[in-house]
Amino acid sequence: MSREVSAARTPAGDQLPGALPEALRAELSAFRRDLHRHPELGNQEFRTTAAIKERLERAGLRPRVLATGTGLVCDIGTRDATADGTAVAAAPDRPLLALRADIDALPIPDTKTVDYASTVAGRAHACGHDVHTTVVLGAGLVLAELAHAGALPRPVRLLFQPAEEVLPGGAPDAIESGALEGVGRILAVHCDPRVDAGRIGLRTGAITSACDRLEVELDGPGGHTARPHLTTDLVTAAARVALDVPALLSRRVDARAGLAVTWGRLASGHACNVIPQHAELSGTVRCLDLDAWRRAPDLVHAAIDEVATLHGAKSQITYVRGVPPVVNEPVTVQLLHSAMAARRGEGAIEDTEQSLGGEDFSWYLEHVPGAMARLGVHPPADPVHRDLHRGDFDVDEQAIKVGVELFTGAALLDGDLPD
């Protein structure tokens, strides 16, 4: 059997079961807005976990909270998926198809004036995780009905993962908790405000970048600003680290690797006439290429030490490994392509570029094949594109229906793929 899912063999959208009923669409919109009003940070998603668990149990399923205390998994179409054992797929012993959502929010204020704005000061679902969660929940509810009817070709695992925004992400803990046991393939979506709602973006190979965290402390004896020649001018040293380290790295790594250091914070000093004794910089290291990412810590350490030493400062570097790039597997990308073509036609699919954003979905792909799609969330009639990680970020909720039907379509067509 071919390892590709042929789009030509895909039935038309109205022939493929698993469409989202209107009543459930309205319920999912309300569910997403409830999550949006009550954002929770990584590893603190207790209310979110409870809400997901309650809805799945109400559907007769048996979700299991992860060992970390937040997040959960829920199987559909296995022999023990439901309390009464009735909802069993045609092939319950095949490897599972996992659908992953991240459930945490960001520590930034919500600045929107909508009735579902965050009620928690300094917290917001500004990355679309409330949408991801709702999409996987909705897909699970639809697939449970298909399993009950014996129309699910392969069992499915819903994976609601905590702490995606906390490097190195909650994925390693979820994997340690057994989230991938029995899984043969994994899918995810990520909101993309550059893509119109009703569409998805796909890419084979790397679709995100590696992302690490960098903290630098510089120290010197301090002194009077009238006599900088008698001490270490620590403010200048910090400024040169901020400017020169990225420039040095650009000449020590192939430009195609996309290794980039970007600073988010620089702090030093307390008075205008005092050369300080201490300075701090923090930022991120991002990289398009997996091999360059593996070499990045040594390269960054060397560049910082060189610049700091040149200016007489002592450096202490904390390099926190984050996540590798998400590398989409070709067969899984074709599966998503075929599912979307079946639902909305080829015109609803566009190519997407590799971004410099990081995503801990990459850790799952170290163990099983899978792929992430860009889920369009931009209202087509809105001339303004509100980017991720902004307090005014919001979505066109049509994206929920698209995501649900993408996943249910993929789950049905996944039966054509070999184990």
Digit-coded pLDDT (tens) for 239-293: 999 999 999 999 999 999 999 999 999 999 999 999 999 999 999 999 998 889 9
Give me the pLDDT at residue 331, please.
97
Digit-coded pLDDT (tens) for 328-350: 999 999 999 999 999 999 999 99
**Residues contacting 290, CB < 8 A, separation 6+:** 206, 210, 324, 325, 327
Digit-coded pLDDT (tens) for 52-64: 999 999 999 999 9
How far is C-alpha 280 from the geometric centre of its chain's CA atoms?
29
The pLDDT of residue 3 is above 50: no
- What mean pLDDT is predicted for residues 371-391? 94
Which backbone phi and psi does 287 adopt, to 5 degrees?
A: -150, 135
Please check whether residue 273 is in contact with residue 291, taking contact to mean a CB–CB distance below 8 angstroms: no
Please check whether residue 225 is in contact with residue 307, taking contact to mean a CB–CB distance below 8 angstroms: no
Q: What is the pTM of this model?
A: 0.89
SS3 394: coil
For the record, the structure tokens of 170 come out as: 């909650």
Digit-coded pLDDT (tens) for 183-212: 999 999 999 999 999 999 999 999 999 999
Q: Is 97 exposed, middle or buried (0-12, 13-18, 19+ CB in 10 A)?
A: buried
End-to-end CA separation in angstroms for the chain: 11
Residue 94: pLDDT band with limits 50, 70, 90? confident
